[in-house]
Structure 1
Amino acid sequence: MTADCRLYIITPPRIDDLAAFGRSLAHAMDAGDVAALQIRLKDQPDEIIAAAVDVLMPIAQARGAAVILNDRPDLAARLGCDGVHVGQSDVSYAEARRIMGPDAMIGVTCHDSLHLAMEAAEAGADYVAFGAFYPTTTKDAPTRADPEILTGWQSHVETPCVAIGGITAANAAPLAAAGADFLAVSAGIWAHPQGPAAAVKALNAAIAEGLAQRR
């Protein structure tokens, strides 16, 4: 088990004002530690995704965060993203690796399945993602994962694990305590009543609380 857990930000599914969102993202990332930004614009045209990467990638990378594109290794490679995240119904890990090359970061959705996670880890995935841990409106979540899956994973496998699904500052600490290496959060940041920067600050505090329990 690693001694750390870090925040992994996911964009909203739609960004109507890209310039304004970029300013909001920068403000949020300046409020606390963020390991990665996933640009997740489902069912958007390629040109919309490319425009988002063009604006958001420099903001994230300037703050030391990796930029991961959801679903599309072809676009991720073309646009120069640091990596790609693929689901079970997207291209395979092997195909994503072929497209992205040996140095890219590739994460794989594994729902609530240790079996799927083990397959991904053995294939070479850089991280596996378990969830959803809590009810979420950001995406259709076919499975509900239990925090014990994080503890069990960490006791046997070195590949990092990401917890995702309905995570907020109010419920993040138990997942950090259970063994998550990263907490992936979308609505818990962008819908926070005090704004995204306050959410990042509160989530980092919750992570610190969970890590204190883990130790």
Structure 2
Amino acid sequence: MTDRVPAAPSCRLYLISPERIDHPALFADELRAALSGGDVAAFQLRLKDAGDEAIIRTADTLRPICQQRDVAFILNDRPDLAVKLDCDGVHVGQDDMPYMEARRIVGPDRQVGVTCKASRHLAMEAAEAGADYVAFGAFFPSGTKAVTTPADLEILEWWSGLMEVPCVAIGGITVENCRPVVAAGADFLAVAGGVWNYKDGPEAAVRAFNEIFAASST
């Protein structure tokens, strides 16, 4: 009789930073705590309205923490800085530069993810162009970003049944509301406030998400 091999998680966590990190060294402790809570696939540094100096300082503080733990370090919006700072990839939105331009800047070996909001057409275009993942949302009201295009769970079901390119679900996702998103077929859950503002702290949040992912694989 052979031991049963545990099923691989059907979904993984994709952490998004707070929009402001005034003290990177202090936030580094929160990030370490989060990553000690369990499996995290990626961490995206998303500092809106921050200057280059602040982005560089923060990335240089946080990137080693992620990369030492095999967590992909993704920079939002700035493929030029992603290359300069040796990030693992870049994420671009529909209001940023086109995918092909971002790919040209970062080269073939770094990840490029694309926000597609609730558009099947944009997602198909991004996937066919070579995007490493597409992001759909928002699925719930978000405390970090104004929701301009609410997304329906059906888009995750459609995508996961049709395409091999991974999809990321984003927008107001928490431990309490994530189960239907996981069940719909999201490969990754992009979470910001749902981890950093969790009542028991970021480590407990990551642990709770991973327990839900594991349960969904059985």
Q: Distance in 2 between matches of 1:71 and 1:25?
A: 21
Structure 1 residue 64 and structure 2 residue 70: aligned? yes
Residue deviations 1:41-85 (CA, integer Å, cap 9, x gap): 011000100011101000011111101000011111111100000
CA contact (8 A) 1:36 1:67 kept: yes
CA contact (8 A) 1:173 1:209 kept: no
> Please, which moves more after superposition, 182-191 or 132-141?
132-141
Structure 1 residue 126 and structure 2 residue 135: aligned? no
Q: CA deviation at 1:209?
A: 3.1
Aligned to 1:102: 108
Q: Which amino acid aligns with 2:103?
A: R
Aligned to 2:190: 184
Structure 1 residue 13 and structure 2 residue 19: aligned? yes
Q: Distance in 1 between matches of 2:150 and 2:216?
A: 21
Q: Which amino acid aligns with 1:105?
A: Q
- 5+ long unaligned stretches in structure 1: none
CA contact (8 A) 1:167 1:184 kept: yes
CA contact (8 A) 2:182 2:213 kept: yes
Q: CA deviation at 1:203?
A: 1.2
Q: Distance in 1 between matches of 2:69 and 2:159?
A: 30
Q: Distance in 2 between matches of 1:171 and 1:76?
A: 32
TM-score normalised to the size of structure 1?
0.95
Superposition pairs for residues 1-215 of structure 1, below 5 Å?
Answer: 4-212=10-218
Q: Distance in 2 between matches of 1:63 and 1:173?
A: 26
Q: Which amino acid aligns with 2:13?
A: L
The secondary structure found in structure 2 opposite 1:109 is strand
The structure with more radius of gyration: 2
Q: Which amino acid aligns with 2:117?
A: H
Q: Give runs of ≥4 in structure 1 deviating > 6 Å.
A: none
TM-score normalised to the size of structure 2?
0.94
Q: Distance in 2 between matches of 1:184 and 1:205?
A: 16
Q: CA deviation at 1:3?
A: 6.3
Q: Which amino acid aligns with 1:136?
A: S
- 5+ long unaligned stretches in structure 2: 1-7
Give percent identity, aligned residues only. 60
Q: Distance in 2 between matches of 1:16 and 1:71?
A: 19
Q: Distance in 1 between matches of 2:187 and 2:11?
A: 4
- Aligned pair count reads 211
The secondary structure found in structure 2 opposite 1:163 is strand
Q: Distance in 1 between matches of 2:68 and 2:147?
A: 32
